[in-house]
């Protein structure tokens, strides 16, 4: 089994939006990842990144120029420029925010898309769309190829790729466990430290659910898995993941130690 991390865009915004209590005046450039899982005859894409039109002409794509709010987005190489999309057999969406779902419109219409039922239903409801900052243009027209799933699902039937229900950031957010060693956490926590300190973005569908999902992923991490955060610029480096796991575990351990020392100082 092989897993590769791609960087398919960037967004720059005040760090305090994405980590509660941090500085609203400090701008940070966050990577937008996507992942390719290759196993047997399957080539699975997890998330699709930004659509180039979201950067080039948000008014044309979304109907209003300020659709991305306080975010400056960039696309260096879209998912279509980095992959032969005809070779993808399945797409798994962690959730339907524009920086994860925008590239759906670049994919061939024959590829099935796996989304949690709660996520898909919320993305069709006007009140939930407004609350959760969905942009329907990103997933318009894919309904006939969406496979909705409920809760935890063994995607391939052999235990190699598991979809984990991790709601909170959005109503039907899900993470992806690959084997025993890797979890693609999506936006359960934008930064790796969020699994420990629960300093999530200022917005969420339900922060209590998000905290419970973070605790679930933290338990997997503490059991030996490496959990990939949503947008941490200190962690997300493009390329094959396997050689990075030991380094990532050491880095995560160092961050946990710093968090613990800081907490002791505050007490």
Q: Which two tokens stand for residue 110?
A: 């024959």
pLDDT, tens only, 35-55: 999 998 999 999 999 999 999
Q: What string of H, E and C letters represents the secondary structure of the chain?
A: CEEEEEEEEEEEEEHHHHCCCCCCCCEEEEEEEEEEEEECCEEEEECCCCCHHHHHCHHHHHCCCCCCCCCEEECCCCHHHHCCHHHCCEEECCCCCHHHHHHHHHCCCCCCEEEEHHHHHHCCCHHHHHHHCCCHHHCCCCHHHEEEECCCEECCCCCCEEEEECCCCCCCCEEEEECCCEEECHHHCCCCCHHHHCCCCCCCCCHHHHHHHHHHHHHHHHCCCEEECCCCCCCCCCEECHHHHHHHHHHHHHHHHHHHHHHHHHC
Give the mean model confidence (pLDDT) for residues 184-190. Answer: 98
Give the mean model confidence (pLDDT) for residues 123-148. Answer: 97
pLDDT of residue 212: 98
pLDDT of residue 76: 86
* pLDDT of 251 above 70: no
* pLDDT of 262 above 70: no
Question: Which residues fall within 8 angstroms of residue 211, CB to CB, at 6 or more apart?
Answer: 168, 198, 200
Q: Quote the CA–CA distance of 121 and 132 in Å, as a whole number.
A: 12
| pLDDT band at residue 242 using 50, 70 and 90 as cut-offs | low
- Contact (CB, 8 A) for 42 and 223: no
* pLDDT of 108 above 70: yes
Residue of 141 and 247 predicted with greater confidence: 141
pLDDT of residue 244: 43
- Contact (CB, 8 A) for 213 and 188: yes
Mean pLDDT, rounded, of the chain = 91
Q: What percent of the chain has pLDDT over 90?
A: 89
0.85 exceeded by the pTM? yes
Q: Quote the CA–CA distance of 254 and 169 in Å, as a whole number.
A: 26
Q: Which two tokens stand for residue 177?
A: 């466990």
* pLDDT of 138 above 50: yes
CA atoms within 13 A on the CB side of 262: 9
Q: Which two tokens stand for residue 87?
A: 């070779």
- Contact (CB, 8 A) for 62 and 24: no
């Amino acid at each position: 089994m092989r897993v590769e991390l791609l960087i398919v865009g960037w967004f720059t915004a005040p760090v305090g939006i994405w980590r509660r209590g941090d500085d609203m005046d400090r701008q940070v450039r966050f990577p937008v990842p996507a992942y390719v899982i290759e196993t047997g005859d399957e080539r699975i894409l997890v998330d699709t990144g930004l659509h180039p039109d979201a950067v080039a002409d948000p008014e044309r794509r979304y109907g209003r120029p300020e659709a991305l709010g306080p975010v400056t987005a960039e696309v260096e190489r879209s998912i279509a420029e980095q992959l032969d999309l005809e070779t993808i057999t399945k797409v798994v969406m962690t959730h339907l925010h524009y920086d994860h779902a925008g590239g759906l419109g670049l994919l061939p219409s024959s590829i099935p898309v796996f989304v949690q039922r709660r996520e898909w239903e919320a993305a069709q409801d006007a009140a939930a769309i407004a609350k959760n900052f969905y942009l329907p243009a990103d997933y318009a027209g894919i309904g006939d190829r969406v496979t909705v799933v409920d809760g935890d699902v063994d995607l391939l039937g052999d235990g190699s790729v598991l979809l984990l229900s991790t709601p909170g950031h959005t109503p039907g957010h899900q993470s992806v466990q690959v084997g025993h060693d890797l979890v693609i956490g999506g936006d359960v926590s934008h930064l790796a430290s969020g699994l420990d300190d629960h300093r999530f973005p200022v917005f969420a569908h339900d922060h209590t659910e998000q905290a419970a999902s973070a605790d679930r992923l933290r338990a997997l991490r503490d059991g030996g898995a490496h959990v990939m955060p949503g947008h941490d610029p200190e962690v997300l480096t493009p390329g094959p993941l396997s050689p990075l796991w030991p380094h990532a575990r050491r880095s995560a351990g160092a961050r946990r130690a710093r968090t613990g020392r800081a907490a002791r100082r505050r007490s």
